[in-house]
Amino acid sequence: MDTRTVYFDNNATTPLHPEVKKTIIKGLEIFGNPSSMHQFGREARELVEESRATVASFIGAAPEEILFVGSGSEANNTVLSLLRCESTSCACPLSGKNGLVTTAIEHPCVLNTARDLGRHNHAVTFLGVDKHGRIDLDDLRRAVTDKIGLVSVMLANNEIGTLQDIKEVARIAHEAGALFHTDAVQAVGKIPVDVKDLDVDFLSLSGHKIYGPKGIGALYVKKGAPYCPFILGGHQESGRRAGTENSLGIFALGKAVAMRALEMTDEEPRIRAMRDALKAGIAASIPDVLFMGHPEHCLPGTLNVSFAGAEGEAILLYLDLAGIAVSTGSACASGSLDPSHVIMATGVPVENAHGSIRISLGRENTMDDVTYMLEQLPPIINRIRDMSTVYRRR
Amino acid sequence: MATKWTYSDKVKDHFMNPRNVLREGNEEDFHGIGKTGNVKCGDEMMVFIKVDPATLTITDCKWQTYGCASAIASTSMLSEMVLGMKLDEAYKITAKDILNALGGLPDNKVHCSVLGDKALRVAIDDYYRKNGMEDRITTQTAKIVCECMQVTDEDIEHAVLEGARSFQELQDMTKIGTGCGECQEQAMATMSGYIQKHFGL
Ligand code: FES
């Protein structure tokens, strides 16, 4: 059996950048608590603040607008939970205006928090999307009533790669007097993101999607935006997020972002070219395929494709046996019967959702990986279709 | 990267080398055909059998599926198990028998293996029907457990296979008991029966 391995699941997580690895190894020696005043603490504090400045400058923010959190999910939960604040002593003026507008294709950490808000008497609207995964701005305009305190729309979708027109979305939210948050976990480090240009109030990002470690993320909170801590306790992160800082993770996130700043611009066209070659190769060698996501407004390295008559988990596992890692929108792989909520929201037939795979490329992929995939995939699809009750060659 | 596969070696073998797949074109040669599931819910299974009329023994069993690795492996396994089996014996094969033969599946994949034995029973019924043996058909049709929400025992079985273990989970999945509420006791009993049947708990 071929021992070649190809990792095409970079939207799930990315391999550590070699420079990040070095930073982690060096960072292991720096054990001081950043909150301690002695030299050990000061040494850690200095590096934490260096990372903060790096992360801030990468997205056009000021350092004091960045707080480090445990994950993208925590960042998103923190922002949505601002709507829960009913304290009269709090600076957060959202009480009474505690409705939320979000979309049907958000990450589960937003969707589930939104649903929970809905169960607690918050007015929550989930905007639908078109067949390419984009929301309708007129729908948005109608949804942002004077009860809406927050609009949360993801910048790039993790499954289909579709980008929203965040600048316009933010403008509409602000015109209606709502705050605006974007989950930019899949976008930061892949495409240019500038919080001032987009005019967002809150933005979430995560380390392990940009060749950094898992368990570290950052939340941008615009200066002056209402804010309540989600994790209560000590005075860390200026009292906005309690808990001793994950200093090692923070050093590593800083390095990961610094490397993105150096490499992203050159890398983007290369990744886009590989994605386009995959797409063209699949279209040329396999009949009856459907590409999901937006043809233009899309992450450079994400390709979501559905194969008629072939179920996704079977494709994933045959590819796995050939050493290729992808992910799937199929229900089976996730252990439930419901296929991907994102693909379902785009209105394609449910069969397409069951038969889709997501190929997500990263900095370590090469054209050889693309060639190998294009050798392996067609016979696998053929094989599955050969067994299929529903696929008949035309 | 030599990591253990999610599934047993047996499952992997049947997935990589599925036995007795029906290639297109010769469906007419079979004496009984059974189909269960549908593409919409993500799994569809068809089983085709040939029967020796003198001994009522299965002489050939082929299949097709739209399904995941577990569905492919379990149907492949089933097709080997039933060869040479008397119809009434094959009729009694359960998903659990297939699971045992495969060396088990992860809990959340068990639902993928239940279509094969059902499709086989439908194929056997089809044979009985075509050969004037309707009296042998014992496949029961779904029984309504919750009148208000029209939830059947099959729906409950499905929910159990998808992971429902408490009444709350069953209700979330099926809406059972959200009308008059009188069905709760029977729903619980039916659910326990299926948990026992599929997971032996
Ligand atoms: S019979 Fe089920 S709720 Fe009434």
Tokens 């997580």 appear where?
Answer: A13
| A365 or B171: which leads in pLDDT | A365
Does the pLDDT at position A2 exceed 90?
no
Whether the CB of B101 sits within 6 Å of ligand 1:
no
pTM to 2 decimal places: 0.87
Distance (Å) from the alpha carbon of B125 to chain A's nearest alpha carbon: 20
Residues in chain A: 394
Please tell me the distance from the alpha carbon of residue B19 to that of residue A357, in angstroms, as a whole number.
26
Ligand 1 contact, B179 CB (< 6 A): yes
Task: In whole angstroms, give the CA distance from residue B156 to residue B159.
Answer: 5
pLDDT value for A390? 79
| Residue B68 to residue A386, Cβ atoms within 8 A | no
pLDDT in tens, A88-102: 666 666 667 889 999
- Answer yes or no: do A332 and B40 touch at CB < 8 A: no
Concatenating the DSSP letter of every residue in B138-198 gives: -PPPPPEEETTTTEEHHHHHHHHHTT--SHHHHHHHH-TTSSS-TTHHHHHHHHHHHHHHH
- The pLDDT value recorded for residue B148 is 67
Task: Give how far B172 is from chain A: nearest CA, Å.
Answer: 13
Whether A332 is a known active-site residue: answer: yes
Residues A150-177 have pLDDT tens digits of: 999 999 999 999 999 999 999 999 999 9
- Among A88-102, A267-281, B173-187, top mean pLDDT goes to A267-281
Contact A308, A91 (CB under 8 A): no
Q: How many CA atoms lie within 13 A of A165 on its CB side?
A: 13
Which residue in chain B has the smallest CA separation from A380? B16
Nearby residues of A225 by Cβ (< 8 Å), 6 or more positions away: A179, A201, A202
Element (H, E) at A359: strand A356-360
Q: Are A341 and A104 in contact (CB under 8 A)?
A: yes
The 10s digit of each residue's pLDDT in B63-73 is: 999 988 888 99
CA neighbours closer than 13 Å in the CB half-sphere of residue A127: 24
User: Does this complex have an ipTM over 0.85?
Assistant: no
Q: Is the CB of B147 under 6 A from ligand 1?
A: yes
Q: What percent of chain A has pLDDT over 70?
A: 94
Q: Which of B149, B151, B155, B185 is the best mutation target for the ligand 1 pocket, counting ligand atoms within 8 Å of the beta carbon and taking the most?
A: B149
Contacts of A289 (CB under 8 A, 6+ apart): A282, A283, A305, A306, A307, A308
Four-point Cα dihedral A302, B68, A315, A286, nearest 10: -100
- Please indicate whether residue B177, judged by its CB atom, sits closer than 6 Å to ligand 1: yes
**C-alpha dihedral (A227, A71, A158, A55), degrees to nearest 10:** 70
Q: What is the pLDDT of residue A394?
A: 42
- At CB < 8 A and 24+ separation, what contacts does A135-142 make? A135/A103, A135/A164, A135/A169, A137/A165, A137/A168, A137/A169, A137/A172, A140/A101, A140/A169, A140/A172, A140/A173, A141/A172, A141/A176
Option in B41, B72, B106 nearest A314 (CB)? B72
pLDDT tens-digit series, residues A321-354: 999 999 986 655 555 556 788 998 999 888 888 8
pLDDT digits (tens, 9 = 90+) for B136-147: 887 666 788 887
> What does pLDDT average to over chain A?
93
Q: Which of B155, B175, B182 for mutating ligand 1's site (highest number of atoms within 8 Å of CB)?
A: B182
Judged against a pLDDT cut of 90, whether residue B38 lies above it is answered with no
Q: How many residues does chain B have?
A: 201
The predicted model gives A244-261 an average pLDDT of 98
| Interchain CB distance below 8 Å, B67 and A390 | no
| pLDDT for A330 | 64
Asked if residue B112 has pLDDT above 80, the reply is no
Which whole number is the average pLDDT over B29-54? 87
Is residue A108 pLDDT above 90, yes or no?
Answer: yes
Which of these, A319, A315, A302, lies nearest to A359 by C-alpha position? A302
Check if the beta carbon of residue B50 is closer than 8 Å to that of residue B29. yes
CA distance to partner chain B, nearest, from residue A133 (Å): 21
CB A213 within 8 A of CB A52: no
Asked if the model's pLDDT at residue B183 lies above 60, the reply is yes
Active site residue B183: no
The answer to whether residues A291 and B22 touch, using CB atoms and an 8 Å cutoff, is no
Best residue of B16, B19, B39, B154 to probe chain A, by most A CBs closer than 10 Å: B39
